[in-house]
Structure formats: C-alpha cells, structure tokens
Amino acid sequence: MRAFDSTTDPALRSWLDVAPGSDFPIQNLPFGVFVHGARDVAPRLGVAIGDKILDLSAVAHAGLLDDAMPEAFAVFAAPSLNRLLARGRAPWRAVRERLSALLSAGNRELHDAGVSERAIVERAGARYLLPFEVADYVDFYSSREHATNLGKILRPDTEPLLPNWKWIPIGYHGRAGTVVISDTPIVRPNGQRKAPDATEPAFGPTRMLDFELELGFVTGNGPALGSPLGVAASRDVIFGAVIVNDWSARDIQGWEYVPLGPFLGKSFATSVSPWVVTLDALAPFRVEGPAQSPPALEYLRAAEPRNYDIALAVELVSAKMDAKSAQTISRTNARGLYWSVAQQLAHLASNGATVRAGDLCATGTISGSEPGTYGSMIELTWRGARPLQLANGEMRAFLEDGDAVTMRASCDRAGAAHIGFGSVSGRILPAP
C-alpha cells in the first residue's frame, strides 16, 4: 500500500493560507453543507480548507469541475451530498483530485475564471446543515472493550461477551429521521423506565442520559437488491466519515431492549459533525486492526489493513462552567476496533440487503481498555457507581440539563499532514 497519493502528499501546499495544525489542510478537503448569513440564505455544498470554505456550486457554475465529472453543476448545486454519493468511487476520486489541483499553490484557475472572491467564504459566520440526507442508519457494536464493559455492567454474573460477538459484527437499524447536525439542542427524552426494585415501570424523563462516542461511515450505492457486497469491494462503496454522538437513555434502553434490541432509548437523537472526511483523506492513517480469534468467516475476511488511526476525545461543559473551561472526560482511538467498517458493511449486505447513497453506518461506542478511554458515561462512571468529579466540584453519574458534550477527532502520523474532523456538539435541554 502506498502511504500517500497526489492529494495526501504532505509536501502539498495551498495558495490559501492554512494555519499550522489546522484540521483542514489541503490534504483533507472534507465536504459539508453550509449557510453563510453574510451572503445569502441558500444552503450550499462546500469543502473546508483552513479557516475558509470553498463553495462548490460557485466552482461548478464556472465550469471548473466539468472535466472531473460530467454535469458537475447538477451535482454541486444541490444542498446535499447525495447526488455526489450516488455517482460512485471513480467520480469521487476525480473530483477530489480536481479540487486539490484548483487549491494547490501556483494554480490560478479560480482567479482567472473570476470566481475566487465569490467561491471562498470564511468558516467563521457559517452554520451547518446535515451534509447528506440520511438514507438508512445502522449502528454497530464493534468495540470489544465497550461490549465487554456493557456486558459486565448489565449482566454481572455471566460471561461479558455473548457467544455470537466474535463471529458477527453485531448491529441494529436505527432511526435515520432523527440524525441531526452538530449544535442541534438535545431535548431530554421521556420514556418508560423501571427501577430494579420497582414492580411496575413509570413514564417520565430519563434519569440516565448518556452519550456514545462513535464514528459514522457514509456510503454511496451498493449492488442491486439480492446481490451481496463482498468485503473486498465494500470499502469502495464508502465515501467518508463523520463523528457521531449516539445519544442514549440507559434506563429506557434497559427496560425495553430484550428481546428485540434498542428502540426509543436510542431513537430520540443522533448528532453528526458537519464535515465528511473522505476515505481518500484517511488513507495515510490506515492501520492493522487487532488479531481476530477465532478467524472471521470467509465472507468477512480481508487481507488489508482494515482500521483507521483516529484519535478521539470527549469534552463536557456544565451549565455552571464557561465554555473555555470545557473538561476532557475521555480520550481514545478508533484503531483498536475489533470489527472494521469494511467488515460491517460486507456483513450488512451479506443477505442481499441494499446499501444506498446516504446510508450511515456507525461503529458503535469506541472505548479503550483503561477507564479514561471509555466512550460513554455508563462506562466512565460504571453506571453511576463511580461518579465523575468535574474540576469545579460538580459530580456526574449521567448527563444533566444544561450539560454540553463536544466530541473531536483527528489523525496524526509521522511524515503525514495532520487532518481533523472538527467537532460535534450538543447541549441538553430539559424534558418537555
């Protein structure tokens, strides 16, 4: 495997100023949908570079993307990535190479076409919409450490990993319609919950509101209904990734999840970060995953490095804290995930189910093996038994009204340009 290609070469520079350490150097070029109040109110597709956004509808309108992809304007005038997602791997690659060239030091095409003023806007002042219409949303359970912790917490007297876990990338179908963009307020859900010593459940606000630190992979179209997608081909169907906060109400989940799995304890909201980082940008950060024992069944077996080295962090700000004193409560990394995204997607499609442009496949909570590396409050506080003490003295077993959770993700490797995902945030509002 070549570590770098023409778009990820660490020597590449843009004619736009990019601050050292920016999440969005020219090697990244993530896609998002933004509204810029100072210009107009129409949402537009763009790529982030440094502290700027390149407005792709303006670039396509000038005809500068036509050589990369036929009818580019029809794709980039839409305020969503779905038309691009539907085009497939080769056009994705051609567009990335073209955008990389247009933004590279020495390239004057945007200036010569007279669109550089109009096509480049400040990221400050932009707000974001969902970058794609979510087709189906599937949440997996691919961190062995997370699955083991949940097993110990929920079923303390039994083997924590259920017998199927090392054979099947476990997942469930979530609710696509309640996937929301970062900064959408999260209303504390009401639901049925039953205390262990109670004889009957009660309906009311969750008392165990939690976050789940995840990555979500966004797809193009797979083969027709009835045709499986092999593990070798599955990576070609994945466009890129976002950070996912899969908000969870543990008391509602605990009462409802047997026998059919998570339902209303999960479906009230799932937050995603605004910028979709492409698999092409992530290619320098591919790493071997942990050894799989027993070996995966043939249809899940991939010979290539199957994971991504992506550092992740969770910050909490309570209503009593100012935003600058955000407290980091977890740091972990996606490189240790047991099941890879390629294996998950191959499994999802192994029965002939379709993969559609805009599907979101989330990894499941990403946890490491040490307490400070857990990706949820239920693990960090061991279901409230070991509450977190915040720097200002407040205690937390689960999230309280007014708490804001921010998750960040970034990639670093010797010799490679630093790239980042930005962040996904949400603040808890009281139950209605």
Residue indicated by tokens 């946890």: 367
Min separation Cβ 202 and Mn ion, Å: 25
Q: Is there binding between residue 251 and Mn ion (CB under 5 A)?
A: no
State the nearest-atom distance from the C-beta of 236 to Mn ion, in Å: 25
Shortest distance, position 54 Cβ to Mn ion, whole Å: 33
Burial 33-42 (b: 16+ CB within 10 A, else e): bbbbeeeeee
| Choice between 12 and 176, CB closer to Mn ion | 176
Which of these, 69, 66, 75, 81, lies nearest to 113 by C-alpha position? 66
Q: Is the dihedral of CA 199, 203, 206, 212 positive or negative?
A: positive
CB of 146 to Mn ion, least distance (A): 9
Q: How far is CA 73 from CA 64, 65, 183, 308, 401, in A?
A: 9, 8, 29, 33, 44
Looking at the Cβ atoms of 82 and 271, the one nearer to Mn ion is: 271
The C-alpha atoms of residue 149 and residue 158 are separated, in whole angstroms, by 12
Pairing mode, strands 277-278 and 238-245: antiparallel
CB nearest Mn ion: which residue?
246
Judged by CB under 5 A, the residue of 23, 210, 246, 280 near Mn ion is 246
Residue 153 dihedral angles phi and psi, to the nearest 5°? -75, -45
Instruction: Give the C-alpha separation, 31 to 27, whole Å.
Output: 13
- Of the candidate spans 40-48, 212-220, 233-241, 278-286, the one that interacts with Mn ion by CB under 5 A turns out to be 212-220
The CB density around residue 251, as the number of other CB atoms within 10 Å, is 23
Nearer to Mn ion, 120 or 399 (CB): 399
Tokens of 220: 């193009």
Q: Which stretch binds Mn ion (CB under 5 A): 53-61, 133-141, 379-387, 416-424?
A: 133-141
- Contact of 252 with 191, CB cutoff 8 Å: yes
Q: Which is nearer to Mn ion, 132 or 211 (CB)?
A: 211
CB closer to Mn ion out of 145 and 246? 246
Kindly state the smallest distance separating residue 362's Cβ from Mn ion, in Å: 6
Cis before residue 185, ω within 30 degrees of 0?
no
Min dist. Cβ of residue 357 to Mn ion (A): 23
Question: How many positions of this chain bind Mn ion (CB under 5 A)?
Answer: 3
Decide: is 379 part of the binding site for Mn ion (CB under 5 A): no
Return the residue matching tokens 């303390």.
156
Any idea which residues carry the catalytic annotation?
146
Q: CB of residue 365 vs Mn ion: minimum separation in angstroms?
A: 5
Nearest CB to Mn ion, comparing residues 139 and 280: 139
- Residue 139, interface with Mn ion (CB under 5 A)? yes
Candidate ranges 34-42, 205-213, 216-224, 414-422; the one touching Mn ion (CB under 5 A): 205-213
Q: Given the rule CB under 5 A, which of 154-162, 208-216, 309-317, 352-360 is the region that contacts Mn ion?
A: 208-216
Does residue 212 touch Mn ion according to CB under 5 A? Answer: yes
182's CB contacts (< 8 A; 6+ apart) are: 128, 271, 272, 273, 274, 423, 424, 425, 426
Encode 92-106: b = buried (16+ Cβ within 10 Å), e = exposed. bebbbebbbebbeee
Q: Which stretch binds Mn ion (CB under 5 A): 207-215, 283-291, 380-388, 406-414?
A: 207-215
The SS3 call for residue 236 is helix
210 binds Mn ion (CB under 5 A): no
Give 246 or 403: the residue with its C-beta nearer to Mn ion.
246
Q: Which residues bind Mn ion (CB under 5 A)?
A: 139, 212, 246
